Amino acid sequence: MASADSPIPYLERIRTYYQALGYGAPYVWAKFDHVPFQPLTKPLAACRVALVTTAAPYQPGKGDQGPGAPYNASAKFYGVYDGETAADPDLRISHVAIDRAHTTAGDQNSYFPLPALRKAVIDGRIGALTPSFYGLPTNRSQRTTMDIDCPDLVSRCRRESADVAILVPNCPVCHQSVALAAHALEEAGIATVIMGCARDIIEHIGVPRFLFSDFPLGNGAGRPHDVQSQDRTLDLALDLLRTADHPRTTQQSPLRWADDDSWKDDYCNIGKLSREEISRRRAEFDRGKETAQALRDATKAR
């Protein structure tokens, strides 16, 4: 069982889980020897900040996307999108492999820290938000992410004169997507910090700055329905932007999910599943892959 001082070993859990489901060779995660690092060139109080999310806009007619919804492949998106930071979007994470046993995605602010960022502007901790926030798709294809999605994201951030980008992933592959995006943004002169919950994935890949919250996936911006936790988590991310002086800097949030750490033992733990449950999950995952492939094909055809 993972302890309070031992984060969930996502790489190991995911490898054994999908092998048990019968998918053969394990997924090969990105890994970099060189990590770019862009120091802040001016105080945060004078910086324009971009928010990057892997959450999906709610799509009526695409099935259950509400709190506690099961995996919903039809609600995925496959291209970078943007929305107005002056508005309050309806974003969901029913499409990703978050920890559904211990969290429900019932509070958007636990994975999309726009309200906390608005307060940071009012308090003078950051200069401004870019007019848009940006949605980054969760593509298992690293080549697609690096060759298509990252250049698109960089172009949008440059167009709105972003000095800094805060990236908030949800599922395991989301963490990889934002890690790749952080590389591209830093190389473009935009300093980044990732607020996430999968420490081993991020540190395996290598990123400039990472604020680690030892929470179930889907809560990288703080505990749900806990404004104090969300504000504190953003403050820690902003502090990391100010204080980090070299790449691969990880800071762990002192906040805890619960007094009991048994929740860490459940995520993708194949030893806790019956043969019948493994078969059911394999069939469900296959259906999801078929739906996702159809959506990708339709996106390419447009």
State residue 30's pLDDT score.
Answer: 97
State residue 301's pLDDT score.
Answer: 60
CA distance 6 to 8: 7
**Cβ neighbours of residue 46 closer than 8 Å, sequence gap 6 or more:** 127
Residue 105: closest CA among 139, 58, 163:
58
CA distance 245 to 45: 18
CB-CB contact of 109 with 26 (8 Å): no
Q: Where are the beta strands (DSSP E) in 30-169?
A: 48-53, 56-57, 81-84, 91-92, 128-129, 132-135, 164-168
CA distance 174 to 119: 26
Place of tokens 């473009």: 188
Q: Which two tokens stand for residue 245?
A: 């002086």
Q: E strand or H helix at 227, and its extent? A: helix 227-243
The segments of the chain whose pLDDT lies below 50 read 1-3
Cα–Cα distances (Å) from 112 to 51, 174, 199, in that order, read 8, 14, 19
Q: Are strands 56-57 and 91-92 parallel, antiparallel or unpaired?
A: antiparallel
State residue 1's pLDDT score.
Answer: 43
CA distance 166 to 133: 10
Cα–Cα distances (Å) from 25 to 143, 164, 275, 282, in that order, read 19, 38, 20, 15
Q: Which two tokens stand for residue 232?
A: 């504190």
Q: Are strands 132-135 and 81-84 parallel, antiparallel or unpaired?
A: antiparallel
**Cβ neighbours of residue 83 closer than 8 Å, sequence gap 6 or more:** 57, 89, 132, 133, 135
CB-CB contact of 49 with 117 (8 Å): yes
Place of tokens 């309200």: 115
Q: Are strands 132-135 and 209-212 parallel, antiparallel or unpaired?
A: unpaired
**Cβ neighbours of residue 3 closer than 8 Å, sequence gap 6 or more:** 261, 264
CB-CB contact of 165 with 156 (8 Å): no
